[in-house]
């Protein structure tokens, strides 16, 4: 490792995706779906590629920085969420664009949350393993303590007793990831607890 890199970071190993085969031998990417990387096995339809090419060449001013506040995107998200809540018949306060954060993927959003809440010894992150590995990787790379609790082996529910015992005065962020199959979620009661 490089001598100028922090010693705690020297302990990290680079992520190595599993090659796919049971014996560790690589499998051709055309033969597998890369669900671990959240990639779609399908390319964009040609008509969508044409629309993107048109937008890129004709609608986007490539000599200007984009709106860093993402105002129009946040407004569109708030409108969509509020319309969805209203259509469901649920009663809830309206979501405003100021309550929405956007980023270039989950890693950036996790990093932003941790910077805003936990730096300089002012907090830690609580995770329920197994979960998205980047919570721990990003936190540790920033010198933020990680407190881990387990899940039920039968339904992956978070061990709430262990979580309540693990939460200290310095716990600023809690990760409530859903590790079940796509579309499965934890109960509102367990999140509220």
35 located within any domain: no
Residues 183 and 114 in one domain: yes
At 78 the pLDDT is 96
What is the overall mean pLDDT for the chain?
81
39 located within any domain: no
At 12 the pLDDT is 79
> Which range in 15-29, 73-87, 126-140, 161-175 is most confidently predicted, on average pLDDT?
73-87
Within the chain, residue ranges assigned H as helices are: 46-54, 71-88, 106-118, 134-141, 160-166, 188-192
127-165 pLDDT tens trace = 988 888 889 999 999 999 998 888 888 888 888 888 888
Residues 109 and 184 in one domain: yes
Residues 112 and 162 in one domain: yes
154 located within any domain: yes
CA distance 73 to 51: 18
Residues 107 and 94 in one domain: no
Q: Cβ contacts of residue 7 below 8 Å, gap of 6+?
A: none
Q: Examine the fold and report which residue of 102, 122, 147 is the final residue of a domain before the chain moves on.
A: 102
61 located within any domain: no
At 173 the pLDDT is 78
Number of folded domains in the chain? 2
Residues 138 and 125 in one domain: yes
pLDDT level of residue 99 (50, 70, 90 thresholds)? very high
CA distance 114 to 138: 8
| % of the chain at pLDDT higher than 70 | 74
At 69 the pLDDT is 92
Whether the per-residue pLDDT at 15 is higher than 60: the answer is: yes
Whether the per-residue pLDDT at 43 is higher than 80: the answer is: yes
CA distance 29 to 193: 42
* Domain around 93: 68-102
How is residue 126 written in tokens? 């609580």
Q: Examine the fold and report which residue of 55, 83, 102 is the final residue of a domain before the chain moves on.
A: 102
Residues 122 and 162 in one domain: yes
Residues 141 and 188 in one domain: yes
- pTM for this entry: 0.68
Residues 83 and 115 in one domain: no
Whether the per-residue pLDDT at 182 is higher than 50: the answer is: no
Residues 128 and 79 in one domain: no
Residues 184 and 109 in one domain: yes
Residues 85 and 144 in one domain: no
131 located within any domain: yes
CATH number at residue 138: 3.40.640.10
111 located within any domain: yes
Lowest-confidence segment of 21-30, 93-102, 119-128 by average pLDDT: 21-30
């Amino acid at each position: 490792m490089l001598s100028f890199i922090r010693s705690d970071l020297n302990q990290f190993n680079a992520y190595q995706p599993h090659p796919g085969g049971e014996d560790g031998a690589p499998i051709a990417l055309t033969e597998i779906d890369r669900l671990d990387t959240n990639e779609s096995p399908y390319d964009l339809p040609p008509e969508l590629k044409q629309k993107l090419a048109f937008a890129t060449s004709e609608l986007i001013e490539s000599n200007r920085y984009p709106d860093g506040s993402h105002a129009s995107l946040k407004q569109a998200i708030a409108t969509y969420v509020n319309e969805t809540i209203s259509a469901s018949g649920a009663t809830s306060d309206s979501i405003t664009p100021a309550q929405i954060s956007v980023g270039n993927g989950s890693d950036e959003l996790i990093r932003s949350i941790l910077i805003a809440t936990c730096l300089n010894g002012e907090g830690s992150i609580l995770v329920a393993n197994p979960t998205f590995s980047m919570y721990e990787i990003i936190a540790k790379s920033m010198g933020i303590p990680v407190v881990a609790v387990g899940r039920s082996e039968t339904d992956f529910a978070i061990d709430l007793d262990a979580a309540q015992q693990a939460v200290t005065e310095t716990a600023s962020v809690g990760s409530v990831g859903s590790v079940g199959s796509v579309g499965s979620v934890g109960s509102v009661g367990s999140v509220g607890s």
